[in-house]
Structure 1
């Protein structure tokens, strides 16, 4: 394998100059930098990332903990984290926990500076006390739920406002008996989205019958279909449903169609997450669209800053969202963003 010395000899410069170019320093003369880049290409030199990390006191890895990669939102989020991490020469160790407390606790306990340089975690069942012994040992970023009151950097969206925006859209289209699918007291984001739903109905002076709140143990297509099937057995059926993620919403669309209901003519449906599937379903799905790329980049940036010595109070970064209005709430085709081409 080519060494820095080999590259330096071919380029006619010092080893230090080659090192500066390889590490991205900008104070190298343009002509010398050009010769070094040509020599790097000619020799096929590859930097020893392991040695570089050892010199920097880094492992070269960060961890990402998510509930389920089979849920498209988390798969897309993981892709964003991988892209952002690679820009900082990090590889990503991914652990999925099924949203259960014991696997989440075990993953948290296994993380340390000897394994990773930081951790990005999206918990569903962890409690405040689970973080106590780990909060100061390793740079961490918490995604999603932030009601745990732990001194950890956080990146997320305003779930209450996003839910209220989704339900207000349904109200604006003339819906008055609006249900939800996804109520789950163990999920912090579910609690927040339910609060936003209630706020929108209260502001509009609409009733909030408990029968219109359908639970969901998991957030898969099957759970959404079962929730919709239940709602359609009610004597006073809903004319709209707000689902707490896109998988629930797509399951609900299927269950409604199987029972002869037209979406959106008979019942409008809104999802949450704007996963790729939502733009290609039939009908295409109106959904809340968090900026997942910005969320991933912000989380990795926080880890980078803390790993490089930044101190101070925990940061709480709010990522923007939009409402993508499509065929599941508006007849005659999409009213806003069309499916990607």
Structure 2
């Protein structure tokens, strides 16, 4: 996004939509020549700003300016060695660069959390080391999210790096002891044996693509664009910030996601004793699996057997 478009078009529309907090992501935000000025423009509009980064490109001057602006950093760290995080990210030397800049963010008082994608390149024990590092640097959270079927990690090659359920359970057991009042350890879509599912934040947290498309959830859009989807992506896009002048009205008209879609519209949820306390999981996972919203999130639901992902047969002539 160009700086002038952010200043003159995006920020006024977000302000009209009562947005109080933005997160800049990518790609890698530090590749944008105007990143610091963009952060400054959002801060001048009264919005809190976070940056999701791999922390390999930030310069001392940029770190100083971000601290002066009161921004905060969320850093991707996917293992705790050059052989895991470095190889996973495509540059072995990137691991030390990330570690060094996390420490610099912490010294500047702008480190917020670490974002982690467990993968087969790392030893399980590295995730305990990662959590220990987070505590030492004063991070507020560690968020772990397995490689998924859509969005980041959607390729077949990436799926080979996905950790097995048994390994994910072991990583969970290693990470949870580090959780306390100072460090939140958040585990997303780890194996679930007995708990009701979380709900969906679609529409509460929305996403603006660089082409201007405004999504109630980017993962719903990614899922809708898979070849097995029964939903068009327009079910989850409310407009385009570059083309439409009424983003706030469009978001208000879309309303609450749970009011628009019945997430538990299936016999299993209807008969489940946990239904009242269950948020029904991730609708994007349901869409990506080839079902319509309302079907069971079988990957996470503890009361139904996990089902193999079956792609429909495609006929040829």
TM-score by length of 1: 0.27
TM-score by length of 2: 0.28
Higher Rg of the two aligned structures: 1
